[in-house]
Amino acid sequence: MTKPFVLFDLGETLVDLGELLACLARRISEGFPPLRAESGMLVRRWIMEAARAMPRGDDDVFVTEFRVASTTLGRLLREKGIAIEDEDAGLVLREAWDAFELRVRFCNGVSENWLAEVHRLTSGMAVVTDGDRENVSRLFQRLPLGKYFSVVVTSEDARAYKPNPKIYEAALGALHAPPQESLFVSDLPLDLRGAAALGMATALMGRPLDQRPSDLPTNAFLLSSPQELNGILDRFATVSRFEFLRED
């Protein structure tokens, strides 16, 4: 019986990042009282603009996620009249991250029991995430993830951000996983398109299906809950090809 390999994004696919935004908003409110009323909106801008600022192009010079996030936060605070250097903005971000770690939780529908079942149905599991090794390692210490994932590849490890093929190739290589027997799961179409370009199957998870975007890879699986993944993996064992599952 052939079992597939499954690679997961981390933030907003397995791990809920909502508490990180709440912790950062609280830290901004406490440290910069004039911004208290707009701290939530500022933090939402921060996460969106930091994601756009990641050096994702093939020819871009690699910069760590923490540096990008700190630079973005520093700029947004200065735009609001706060005199702050990027390094000090990074300290604000680090304090928020420390508080977030104490409250971190799985996304809705993700649990240790579910991870154990998915692990049973696979030949191997990996996390592929746009993150720094230190932060990802700290999350693995807080949540029961290490026993299920034999491979963890961060953007810092690969010196590349999704959808750059290098980050997926590093994970596939570490798993000894053929792309055609591998499935990448994420809440972001951009992540899925990078995996699909290498011949991997893809699945959208972590957002309501009525909010599904139009730029998904062709034939991406649409999961209304994490538990729907189990059936896909179980059926793979009978046909050994993901594309055949869509013909049922």
Give DSSP secondary structure letters for 102-126.
HH--BPTT--HHHHHHHHHTSSEEE
* C-beta of residue 73 within 8 angstroms of C-beta of residue 92: yes
- Amino acid identity of residue 74, one-letter, is G
- Helix orientation angle between 18-31 and 39-53, rounded to the nearest 10 degrees: 120
Greatest C-alpha distance within the chain? 62
* C-beta of residue 40 within 8 angstroms of C-beta of residue 25: yes
Which tokens sit at 120?
């049973």
CA distance 168 to 156: 13
What mean pLDDT comes out for the span 1-15? Answer: 94
> For the segment 69-127, what is each residue's pLDDT rounded down to a tens digit?
999 999 999 999 999 999 999 999 999 999 999 999 999 999 999 999 999 999 999 99
* C-beta of residue 183 within 8 angstroms of C-beta of residue 232: yes
- Give 11's strand partners: 15
* C-beta of residue 195 within 8 angstroms of C-beta of residue 202: yes
Kindly report the average pLDDT of the chain as a whole number: 93
What mean pLDDT comes out for the span 227-238? Answer: 91
pTM of the model: 0.93
Reply yes or no on whether the pLDDT at 245 is more than 80: no
Which tokens sit at 78?
């200065």
